Amino acid sequence: MPVFSLDPAQKSWCDELRVVAVNQLRPLAGKGEPGRINRPLVAALGELGLLDRMLGAGALDLCLLRESLAHGCTEAETALALQGLGSYPVVQAGSEEQRARWLPEVAAGRAVAAFALSEPGAGSDAAALALGAVPEKGADNGADGPGWLLTGEKRWISNAPEADFYTVFARTTPGAGARGVTAFLVPADRPGLTGSPIEMLSPHPIGALAFDSVRVSTADVLGEVDQGFRVAMNTLNLFRPSVGAFAVGMAGAALEATLTHTAARTAFGGPLKDLQSVAHQVAEMATRTEAARLLVYAAAEAYDRGAPDVPRRSAMAKLFATETAQYVVDAAVQLHGARALQRGHLLEHLYREVRAPRIYEGATEVQRTIIAKELYG
């Protein structure tokens, strides 16, 4: 399939998703409490089959899901994406027992997942994480074999402290950098694990997790010991283009609102769209949005066919799409004027939502570093 076009079935599916987002999911989102997991919204995503589809989706399917939902309901998009981010390490590296225990619950919207990578001193520099996994001492290590004790802190974790389980990345080999990290599946009720919310500009919870000798065993390992960094990067390579898709969805919604507004709003004797300065601004917004969409689709298609340049393409898509969305939403606010900043206006909502994607899952500056490294490599 050419990366620059969608077939009729894909277009129809995306159109249906936009309608579902507006008519069924947005009302549920409106009843949610800021900074808390909206479990009725997550359950609705499960009932609609969207979480199950997300778990089995390729990169392009995931991007279409996220872009379409973001166009109509950013809260639903984010709830779906966080379920995917937290559970994809289980999809790609989990044991049969781990998958059987957790994935059906995630797909049904009954269990909420979280991806616990960032730390106070290791945000974008994931290889520098310090959460320690110290081998247990003593001959009797429990019925599930020898284990580790996790001690340290995670911070800026979406869905914390309210998630039902966490995919946690901890250092099992000190001084080994990225090669000494192991991924663990840690249920939220594990003794010694506590969390606290962080008040942020975000509709979903973001928090800190404290690990006080939290026991994990070989049954909790996702993949192989000391190979957790690969699990994290495989997850991020899939989800970075889809962060771009989320951004494109927001940019598209802002662009449509601007087209409607500038065609109807009169000033200086005619509609705003007849002012060349306005028309050129809207043309620039549309061009950048389409360019971002094409970069996202190209990265997703490259991921799905196993291309060797996925890290570069994913970084480019995430970088360009999130920066473009910031530009488009800001320009839309400017063309709407004061009304766009009224509480409850679509653009007021998007203006708050659009900032964070330039930071999470690798900040813009990190994406540029990745791109440069791939180019020179």
Angle CA 309–310–316, to nearest 5 = 95
User: Cβ distance 59 to 297 under 8 Å?
Assistant: no
CA-to-CA dists, residue 190 to 80, 94, 165, 184, 293, angstroms: 25, 18, 9, 12, 42
| Identity of the amino acid at 192 | G
Report which of 133, 175, 180 is spatially closest to residue 152, judged by C-alpha positions. Answer: 133
Residue-wise over 123-155: b if at least 16 C-beta within 10 A, else e?
beebeebebebeeeeeeebeeeeebbbbbbebb
CA-to-CA dists, residue 257 to 72, 281, 321, angstroms: 12, 14, 19
Before 161, cis peptide (omega within 30)? Answer: yes
Active site residue 361: yes
3-state SS assignment for residue 159:
coil
Question: Which of 77, 301, 353, 361 does the annotation list as catalytic?
Answer: 361
Tell me the C-alpha distance between 368 and 132, whole Å. 30
Report which of 114, 113, 107 is spatially closest to residue 53, judged by C-alpha positions. Answer: 107
Report which of 326, 327, 331 is spatially closest to residue 355, judged by C-alpha positions. Answer: 326
CA-to-CA dists, residue 105 to 99, 111, 236, angstroms: 10, 5, 22
| Identity of the amino acid at 130 | A
Active site residues: 361
